[in-house]
């Protein structure tokens, strides 16, 4: 599972992406650094299966068809180009997509090597033209950690120059939206998220995953108060600190009409916490409709068994005569 993802909220708003599309593109943008390249008649593409998206982004979706529709949405806004073979989905980034990693002046926030040798040649040629600069202290405004793109130190803090006390402060930028890791959280939490922000807090991971999944689905943060804190604490006590945050995030994705009408309240989560844990483990949602279908199927089976038993009894009686 992808531990941290940083979203450029400025570009997401500019391109009209919703939170789910922005989350997916933040993941897709980094895929060329590790995904397998494949040359087609249209050029070089990268392999990205729907199963890989589900595996790496459990907060996004657990359905392959949904993952593909989201990829198509990114293609519709001109961020990626899609192709496919008989068994895999292929993609490549467009020129527009490169703006995701740009600062306001057009330079890259976190520069990376281009695919192939072109990027390496460019770096070598730069160092040869300016040999005196190799090994010198970074110039004002240069990146602090240009090669480490998955740390929690990314975002707007790296765009502020500290070279002069008289220099004007950099304009504030939207905070980076970073998902909470299933391991010890080392990521930046949105400043406006209510609730605990101390990773050492017992309820931190469970609340953060629930709150961020909740906002992604319902468009607002859930209310944090003493009752919510107590409910999250009980959830952790019942399921365990290493599991509760998974179940909390999964719960918000359940499409049961009762839960949706009540906006996936913590009370509903706590009331049937163990049942939702089973649904998370098996990855099978048990909605009211599903339960009624199972009940109807069982009723039909029972009716058929009763009819068969009555027929057997009638035949036995006729033979006895």
Contact 267, 297 (CB under 8 A): no
What's the CA gap between 233 and 297, in Å, rounded?
Answer: 39
Reported as a single tens digit per residue, the pLDDT across 59-118 is 888 888 888 899 999 999 999 999 988 788 999 999 999 888 766 555 555 454 444 444
Using only the alpha carbons of the chain, give its radius of gyration.
26
Sequence ranges of the domains in the chain: 9-126, 204-282
Q: What are phi and psi of 26, to 5 degrees?
A: -60, -35
Is the pLDDT at 270 greater than 70, yes or no? yes
Position 149 scores a pLDDT of 39
- The topology (CATH level 3) of 9-126 is Arc Repressor Mutant, subunit A (1.10.10)
Interval 9-19: pLDDT, tens: 988 898 999 98
Residue 146 has pLDDT above 80, yes or no: no
pTM (whole model) above 0.75: no
Is residue 54 within 8 A of residue 25, CB to CB? The reply is no
Residue 120, pLDDT score = 41
Q: What is the mean pLDDT of the chain?
A: 76
Cβ-based neighbour number of residue 128 at 10 Å: 9
Q: What's the chain look like in SS3?
A: CCCCCCECHHHHHHCCCCHHHHHHHHHHHHHHHCCCEEEECCEEEEECCHHHHHHHCCCCCCCHHHHHHHHHHHHHCCCEEEEECCCCEEEEECCHHHHHHECCCCCECCCCCCCCCHHHHHHHHHHHHCHHHCCCCCCCCCCCCCCCCCCCCCCHHHHCCCCCCCCCCCCCCCCCECCCCCCCCCCCCCCCCCCCCCCCCCCHHHHHHHHHHHHHHHCCCCCCCHHHHHHHHHHHHHHCCCCHHHHHHHHHCCCCHHHHHCCCCHHHHHHCHHHHHHHHHHCCCCCHHHHHHHHHHHHHHHHHHHHHHHHHHHHHHHHHC
The pLDDT of 286-312, averaged and rounded, is 74
Q: Rounded CA gap, 147 and 136, in Å?
A: 17
The pLDDT of residue 108 is: 58
Is 25 a residue whose pLDDT tops 50?
Answer: yes
Is pLDDT at 29 greater than 80 in this prediction?
Answer: yes
Res 105: pLDDT? 57
What order of strands is seen across the sheet that includes strand 80-84?
Answer: 37-40, 43-47, 89-93, 80-84
């Amino acid at each position: 599972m992808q531990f941290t993802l940083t979203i450029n909220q400025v570009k997401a708003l500019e391109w009209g992406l919703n939170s789910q599309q922005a989350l997916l593109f933040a993941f897709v943008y980094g895929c060329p650094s590790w995904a397998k390249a494949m040359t087609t008649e249209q050029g070089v593409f990268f392999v990205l299966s729907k199963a890989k998206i589900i595996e790496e982004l459990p907060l996004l979706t657990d359905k392959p068809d949904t993952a593909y529709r989201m990829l198509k949405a990114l293609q519709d806004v001109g961020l990626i180009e899609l192709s496919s073979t008989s068994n895999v989905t292929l993609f490549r980034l467009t020129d527009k997509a490169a703006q995701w990693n740009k600062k306001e002046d057009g330079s890259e926030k976190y520069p990376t090597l281009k695919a192939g040798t072109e990027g390496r040649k460019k770096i070598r040629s730069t160092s040869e033209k300016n040999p005196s600069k190799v090994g010198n202290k970074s110039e004002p405004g240069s990146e602090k950690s240009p090669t480490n793109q998955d740390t929690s130190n990314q975002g707007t803090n790296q765009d502020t120059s500290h070279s002069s006390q008289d220099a004007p402060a950099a304009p504030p930028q939207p905070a980076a939206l970073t998902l909470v890791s299933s391991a010890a959280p080392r990521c930046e939490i949105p400043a406006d998220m209510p609730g605990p922000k101390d990773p050492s807090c017992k309820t931190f991971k469970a609340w953060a995953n629930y709150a961020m999944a909740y906002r992604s689905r319902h468009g607002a943060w859930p209310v944090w108060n003493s009752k919510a804190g107590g409910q999250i604490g009980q959830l952790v006590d019942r399921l365990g600190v290493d599991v509760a945050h998974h179940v909390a995030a999964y719960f918000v994705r359940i499409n049961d009409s009762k839960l949706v009408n009540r906006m996936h309240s913590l009370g509903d989560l706590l009331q049937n916490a163990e049942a939702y844990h089973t649904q998370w483990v098996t990855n099978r949602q048990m909605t009211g409709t599903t339960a009624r279908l199972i009940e109807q199927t069982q009723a039909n089976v029972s009716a058929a068994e009763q009819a068969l038993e009555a027929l057997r009894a009638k035949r036995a009686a006729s033979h006895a005569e």
